[in-house]
């Protein structure tokens, strides 16, 4: 499986948009740790849950 983001990138979980924007903290295999603005830090298995990368230069630090 190809993971199209890296630590520091911003993502959303399209199934749970209420979680808000998340920032990728780490990637180990298919497990991605994301800190979501409304839901806190979560480990997401990208084999089961798809994350969408946010490509918006205004959100980057």
pLDDT of residue 22: 97
Please report the pLDDT score of residue 61 as a whole number: 44
The verdict on residue 60 lying in a domain is no
**Contact predicate 11/24, CB 8 Å:** yes
The reply to whether 28 falls in a domain is yes
CATH number of the domain at 17, please.
2.30.30
Query: 3 lies in a domain?
Result: no
Phi, psi of 29 (to 5 degrees): 65, -125
Domain range for 45: 10-55
Instruction: Give domain status of residue 4, yes or no.
Output: no
Best CA proximity match to 23, nearest among 8, 44, 39: 8
When divided into structural domains, the chain yields a total of: 1
* Separation in Å, CA 20 to CA 2, 12, 16, 29, 59: 23, 7, 8, 24, 13
The answer to whether the pTM exceeds 0.75 is yes
Q: Please, is 40 exposed, middle or buried when counting C-beta atoms within 10 Å of its C-beta (0-12, 13-18, 19+)?
A: exposed
pLDDT tens profile 21-36: 999 999 999 999 999 9
pLDDT at 57: 56
> Per the domain annotation, does 35 fall within a domain?
yes
41 found inside a domain: yes
Higher pLDDT, 55 or 48: 48
Please tell me which residue, 14 or 57, carries the higher pLDDT value.
14
């Amino acid at each position: 499986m190809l993971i199209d983001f890296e630590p520091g990138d911003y993502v959303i979980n399209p199934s749970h948009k209420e979680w808000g924007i998340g920032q990728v903290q780490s990637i180990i295999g298919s497990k991605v740790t994301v800190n979501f603005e409304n839901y806190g830090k979560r480990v997401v298995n990208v084999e089961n849950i798809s994350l969408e990368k946010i490509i918006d230069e205004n959100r980057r630090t």
